[in-house]
């Protein structure tokens, strides 16, 4: 069963705008992570947020986690053309289960 579901599936914005992507999941988690994938490349870890955290920042990235709604959001501020990529959320359960990835959001940042 698929744990994470990103929303929207695709997002197109202008350079300088903010981009927000959402992830919903179904069962209790230990942590939730966001990864970026540039075209034709492997995934790159961006940020991890644990179930007892509500918000984390890393540079232009801001991640929030609402465990009551089983959802997370990734905000990229002041987007750049280089942010064009697919973004995936991945969840890990409380009992050492493996990671489960969502289908991803394709972000296009237009110059």
Of the pair 72, 102, the CB lying nearest another protein is at 102
Q: How far is CA 63 from the centre of its chain?
A: 8
Does 103 sit near another protein (CB under 8 A)? yes
- Alpha-carbon distance of 11 to 41, in angstroms, equals 20
Listed ranges 13-21, 29-37, 61-69, 72-80: which one lies at the site for another protein (CB under 8 A): 29-37
- Alpha-carbon distance of 39 to 107, in angstroms, equals 11
Site string for another protein, 31-50 (x = CB under 8 A): x-x-x----xxxxxx--x--
Site string for another protein, 70-99 (x = CB under 8 A): ------------------x-x-x-----xx
Closest to 32 (Cα-Cα) out of 20, 48, 18: 48
Closest to 62 (Cα-Cα) out of 51, 50, 73: 73
- Tokens representing residue 105 in the block: 């959001």
Does 101 sit near another protein (CB under 8 A)? yes
- Tokens representing residue 37 in the block: 């994938």
Residue numbers at the binding site for another protein (CB under 8 A): 2, 4, 30-31, 33, 35, 40-45, 48, 88, 90, 92, 98-104
């Amino acid at each position: 069963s698929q744990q994470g579901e990103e929303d929207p599936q695709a997002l197109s914005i202008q350079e300088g705008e903010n981009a927000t992507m959402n992830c919903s999941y179904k069962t209790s988690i230990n942590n939730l992570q966001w990864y970026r994938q540039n075209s034709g490349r492997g995934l790159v870890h961006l940020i991890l947020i644990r179930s007892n955290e509500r918000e984390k920042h890393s540079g232009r990235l801001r991640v929030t986690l609402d465990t009551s709604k089983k959802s997370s959001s990734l905000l990229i501020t002041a987007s750049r053309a280089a942010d064009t990529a697919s973004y995936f959320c991945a969840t890990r359960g409380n009992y050492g289960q493996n990671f489960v990835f969502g289908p991803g959001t394709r972000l296009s940042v237009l110059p």
